[in-house]
Chain A
Amino acid sequence: MFQKLREILNNVDADYADIRYEIKREGVISFSGKELTQVGSSSTDGYVIRALKDGGLASVVFTRESDAQKAVKTVLENAKLISKTVEKPVKLAQAEAVKETFIPPLKEDPREISMEEKLELVRKYNDIPLAHEKIATTSIKYEDVIREKYFLSSEGSEIREDLVTTRLSGEIISADGNLRQNLRVRRGGSSGFSTVRNQESYFEKRTGIVLDLLKARPVMGGVYNCILNPDLTGVFTHEAFGHYSEADLIENLPSMREKMKIGNKLGNDVLNIVDNATLPEQLGFYKYDDEGVKVRSTQLMKNGVLSGRLHSRRTAAEFGEPLSGHTVAEDYRYAPIIRMGTIFIEPGEHTFDDLVNMLGDGLYILDAKGGETSGESFSFGAQYAYEVKNGKVGKMVRDLNISGNLYQTLKDITAVGDDLVLSKVGGCGKWQTNIRSCSGGPHIIINSLVVGGA
């Protein structure tokens, strides 16, 4: 394969160029209620070329080998067009040329497990909620997504890496009269099919929660002091803070760049945030990004002070900061962009009981239900919560959406728990989707969150 890629790359008359070829294999099993709606596996493939010419960087995607010549011509024309227009030529930070094949160790390779066996397992999980009368339906999807990547650069890098993702995702919907409640299920990871085995008790627990939600009261909208569970801590860290650690999102927003200067004190003293995609067996794990840069653990915040950032080669040069290896594409249909790997708030010293006592009155909010961020504002849904009164966890409430201002909220994180849980399933959208997006943290206390209820 590399020989073929080299032939294409040799035709790119640029100051720098790289080509990535990928075969993407996807296996899918999905259930809608009792009904099996999709089973199958297929593979697709395609190419991405990036070229830097006279300070202009452009990219092209193509899926037919016969389009290679057209693609090369297009990417060079576009790079030259950019170079004529830009005030400041694009530079790429120096990166080491690497020749390596990295196939991650797996506990059970999903490619070697029969469709029948996968189907039987997913059906077993799906049947757990459906055994209950007040479960209206389920929507459960099993996927294995395997990216077999070949990366070649004009600087001499030649990297072959596999990313194997297994995931069980979907939701359980309960109903009572006109009332419907839904609860997400999320299992899986990067280390093989074993990550979706033995999940019966997880499905039982989730079923119990979505049934309880039928009896829960809608939360009263207002401002609350809150404990967030690790899943929600992760989503907050990812949505509200993490995206602004992605250099490409702030590169051309002068005011955000000013606010996000390294050394700025943005958070409470108790806050330490890191992105560490080198942690093995976590969903976010990889070795080289889609620019061929080795990923490294990056401390983003230390004691509330901004201490690092996630970079591409382009933004690392632009900001004059170290490379981090975070330039990742969804697949061969996209040029890579800056992505979080495994981002989390580092654990502190408080037990969960300490946190509940410290909170006194407020809400204990659990599990994310989607989030979005725009500049300093963020919003995310939560699956459910419990009222906390006088340091005691009480009744369940539902219909929660939380919003806030990033800078204020970072200051309002007043206590950090001693546990750490990282997410098993990802799906971050930023023009393209990153199913390996991993986030987490401990339980934390955030004061004065706006909670929008029904």
Chain B
Amino acid sequence: MEKLLELARKKSDKAEIYSVEYTSNQVSFENAKLQNIDSKFQSGVSLRIIKDGKLGFAYTRNLINRQELVQNAIDSLKGGVEAEYDFPLTKEIPKLDKYDSSLEGVSSAQMVEECARVCDILKSKTDGEIEMHSFVNIDKLRILNTQGTDISEKGTTYTMFGGATYPGSGAGIWRVFRSKKFEKMPADLVNTLIDLYKLSSKVVEPKGGKMKVLFMPNSMLTLLWRLFSGASSKSVYEKTSPIADKIGEKVFDEKLTIYDDPLNDKNPGARAFDDEGVACKPLTLVEKGVLKSFFYDLDYAKKLKAKSTGHGYRTTQWGGDPITLKPIPAVSHLTLKPGNKSFAELVKSMNKGVILEYALGAHSGNIPNGDYSVAVSPGVYVEKGEIVGRVKDGMVAGNIYETLKNVTDLSDTLYPCFTGEWMPLILCDNVSVATKK
């Protein structure tokens, strides 16, 4: 790596190397039976150079030919992508507890055994079709640049993701479990899944209209993608954010305090620095409903005469292969200040409404504008504080800048979303629900 940096330094004004190594193991159960085991050992190197204010970019999996990688980056300078920013000098990074060496030794057999255990419970207690996936991920990241930064970190993530699907429907109740080490899926998580599945087995056909909607972890992307779009410095710069000029103004209900917390290493995936080597720190985006800040990477910070907030990540809306992607402003650890009601209390407080377990089509529609319109998959229907069944073929629609002004309550617990965030459940009122009736 040092040789590559040296070579790049000779041909440019500034250079940065982003190098990753990751191993993963995935065990999949379908219909409560072992279906697949997929293992991956991958590595890669990505090079950014800046010369005369222009950006060069190239990447490779195998650093066999350093000259070729540097040449590819030099060739791309000709395109003339502007890069007025400097790479940071980051020496001090927070020490995070994000690596648990015990996960390295976890075998496929242990993962299979744990999946089988949970599948057996779900199979014996529900009539659902049971699917379960378990993942072990070990990631190493190192960033070097010509400013003198040379920082690295290593993390472990264990994920279990699965649930019970109502036969023939494709919809069901699924839960995510995440930890830095290999652990059994907690009994209360499994039990909640079973209870909710049983209570919602019956199909009901309520009349549509405006009602309460409880956004669950697995449907949270419906709100989050629109929020990410609105609070991104890229959208501000491009004038596509409807809240671009609303810093200091109330944009959401005062119950909402929204912040990014990359240093929280209680949960897996904490980050001491972003994908550009900028040290991470917590950032409040919205405090008691008032817009406080946008999030910035180096590029958009420079363009908007601000400072990077440590939010340059090599990602897209769908994730992606980091070495092939240029950093963009992104939040990876977004969360909300929790409320004070349990899930059961939130349900009790719903006179009439839908628990949106999973939303189909969270990625479609006019995201910059904040509009969403998703199919319930399923929508668990509540009447007078009791779950009475589930709605099929219904749609929940609105605009987050309206919906999040009508927040009734938040749960007292944060739950992992399958995209990596930890979020409270959000109960909103006056949301439009369309059904066939």
Give chain A residues whose Cβ lies under 8 Å from the Cβ of B361.
370-372, 379-381, 401, 403
Task: Say yes or no: A374-B41 contact (C-beta < 8 A), given A36-B80, A87-B33, A252-B35.
Answer: no
CB of B61 within 8 A of chain A?
yes
**A259–B27 alpha-carbon span in the complex (Å):** 28
- Distance to closest chain A CB from B391 (angstroms): 10
**A381:B170 contact, CB within 8 angstroms:** no
Q: Does A421 contact B (CB under 8 A)?
A: no
Query: What does DSSP make chain B's interface, helix, strand, loop or mixed?
Result: mixed
Q: Which residue of B lies closest to A90 (CB)?
A: B35
Q: Hey, which chain B residues are within 8 Å of A35, CB to CB?
A: 82
Whether, in the assembled complex, A136 has its beta carbon less than 8 Å from a beta carbon of chain B, the answer is yes
- List residues of chain B with CB within 8 A of the CB of A223: 436
Q: A376-390: which have CB < 8 Å to B?
A: 376-381
Q: Say yes or no for B373: interface residue by CB 8 A criterion.
A: yes
Q: How far is the CB of A15 from chain B (nearest CB, A)?
A: 17
Q: From residue A12, how far is it (CB to closest CB) to chain B in Å?
A: 14
Cα distance A79–B37 in the bound complex, in angstroms: 8
Q: Does A173 contact B (CB under 8 A)?
A: yes
Which among A41-49, A97-105, A197-205, A339-347 touches the partner chain?
A41-49
The 8 listed contacts between A and B (C-beta, < 8 Å) are A36-B79, A175-B239, A221-B208, A255-B129, A258-B168, A370-B365, A376-B169, A405-B393
Q: A253-B129, A377-B375, A378-B360 are in contact. Are A62 and B42 (CB under 8 A)?
A: yes
Return A302 CB to nearest CB of chain B, in Å: 23
- Given A38-B57, A403-B393, A115–B41 Cβ distance below 8 Å? no
Known: A39-B76, A61-B39, A335-B38. A81 touches B33 (CB 8 A): no
In this assembly, does A282 line the interface, its C-beta being within 8 Å of a C-beta of chain B? no
Which residues of B line the A interface, CB within 8 A? 30-31, 33-44, 56-62, 72-73, 75-76, 78-82, 108-109, 112, 116, 129, 131, 165, 167-171, 208, 234, 238-240, 242, 318, 321, 323-324, 326, 358, 360-369, 371, 373-375, 377, 392-399, 432, 434-436
Task: Report, as a range, how many residues of chain A touch the other chain.
Answer: 35 or more
A77 and B371 alpha carbons, distance in the complex (Å): 48
In Å, the complex CA distance between A189 and B35 comes to: 34
Q: How distant is B317 from chain A, measured CB to nearest CB, in Å?
A: 10
Which of A68-76, A155-163, A434-442 lies at the interface? Answer: A68-76
Q: A64-B43, A173-B240 are in contact. Are A41 and B393 (CB under 8 A)?
A: no
Return the 7 tightest CB-CB contacts between A and B, nearest first.
Answer: A375-B170, A39-B79, A381-B364, A370-B364, A40-B76, A401-B373, A252-B30
Alpha-carbon distance between A71 and B42 when the two chains are bound, in angstroms: 11
Contacts of A255 in B (CB 8 A): 129, 167-168
- Chain B residues with CB under 8 Å of A450's CB are 393-395, 434-436
CB proximity of A164 to chain B, nearest CB, Å: 18
Apart from A58-B39, A221-B208, A253-B31, what 8 extra A-B contacts exist at CB < 8 Å?
A36-B82, A38-B57, A61-B40, A136-B240, A377-B171, A381-B361, A381-B364, A403-B360
Q: Give which listed residue, A63, A333, A377, contacts B377 with CB less than 8 A.
A: A377
Chain B min CB distance to A179 (Å): 7
Q: Within the complex, which residue of A44, A403, A404, A405 is in contact with B60, where a contact is CB–CB below 8 Å? A: A44
* Inter-subunit contact A40/B79 (CB<8 Å): yes
Which chain B positions have C-beta within 8 A of A179? 369
Which residue of A60, A137, A251, A374 is within 8 Å of B171 (Cβ)?
A374
Q: How far is the CA of A175 from the CA of B366 in the complex (A)?
A: 12
Q: Given the complex, which residues of B lie within 8 Å of A71, measured CB to CB?
A: 39, 41
Bound Cα distance from A29 to B76, whole angstroms = 10
Cβ A221 vs Cβ B374 within 8 A: no
CB atoms of B360 and A40 under 8 A apart: no
Question: In the bound complex, how far is the Cα of B299 from the Cα of A36, in angstroms?
Answer: 13
Q: Does A108 contact B (CB under 8 A)?
A: no
Cβ-defined contact, A40 with B57, below 8 A: yes
Tell me whether A381 and B365 are in contact in the complex, defined as CB-CB below 8 angstroms, given that A35-B82, A36-B81, A453-B397 are known contacts.
yes
On whether the beta carbons of B238 and A404 are closer than 8 Å, the reply is no
Is A119 close to B, CB under 8 A?
A: yes
Q: Contact between B377 and A374 (Cβ–Cβ < 8 Å)?
A: yes
CA distance A24 to B168 in the complex (A): 39
User: Whole-angstrom distance between the alpha carbons of A158 and B323 in the complex?
Assistant: 30
> Known interface pairs A181-B366, A259-B168, A403-B393. Does A377 touch B239 (Cβ–Cβ under 8 Å)?
no
A81-B112, A180-B368 given; A60·B38 CB < 8 A: yes
B171 touches A454 (CB 8 A): no
List chain B residues, Cβ under 8 A from A333. 40, 42, 321
Q: Decide: A81 near B31, CB < 8 A? Known: A42-B59, A375-B165, A399-B365.
A: no
Asked if A63 and B363 sit within 8 Å, CB to CB, the answer is no
On whether the beta carbons of A62 and B170 are closer than 8 Å, the reply is no
From A63, A377, A403, contact of B42 by CB (8 A) = A63
B81, B363, B398, most chain A CB atoms within 10 A? B81
Q: Report the minimum CB–CB distance from B17 to chain A (whole Å).
A: 14
> CB of A32 within 8 A of chain B?
yes
- A399 with B371: CB separation less than 8 A: yes
Return chain A residues, CB-CB under 8 Å to B73.
Answer: 40
Q: From residue B131, how far is it (CB to closest CB) to chain A in Å?
A: 8
Q: Nearest chain A CB to B253's CB is how many angstroms away?
A: 19
Judge whether A10 is part of the interface by a CB distance below 8 angstroms: no
A78 touches B373 (CB 8 A): no
| A184 CB to nearest chain B CB (Å) | 10
Contact A41 B168 (CB under 8 A): no
Contact B324 A37 (CB under 8 A): no
Interface centre among A37, A370, A379, A453 (most CB of B within 10 A): A379
Whole-angstrom CA separation of A61 from B61 in the bound complex: 13
Chain B: CB-nearest residue to A62:
B41
In whole angstroms, what is the CA distance A222 to B408 when docked? 27
Shortest C-beta distance, B239 to chain A (Å), equals: 5
- Chain A residues whose CB sits within 8 angstroms of the CB of B377 once the complex forms: 374-375, 377, 379
Question: Given the complex, which residues of B lie within 8 Å of A36, measured CB to CB?
Answer: 79-82
**Docked-complex contact A377 and B81, CB < 8 angstroms:** no
Q: Note all chain A residues with C-beta closer than 8 A to B396.
A: 452
Assess whether B234 is in contact with A32, with CB atoms less than 8 Å apart. yes
| Given A254-B31, A255-B129, A377-B377, A42 contacting B42 (CB threshold 8 A) | no
Q: Do B318 and A429 touch (CB < 8 A)?
A: yes
In Å, the complex CA distance between A377 and B34 comes to 26
Known contacts A255-B167, A375-B170, A403-B393; is-contact A75 B39 (Cβ 8 Å): yes
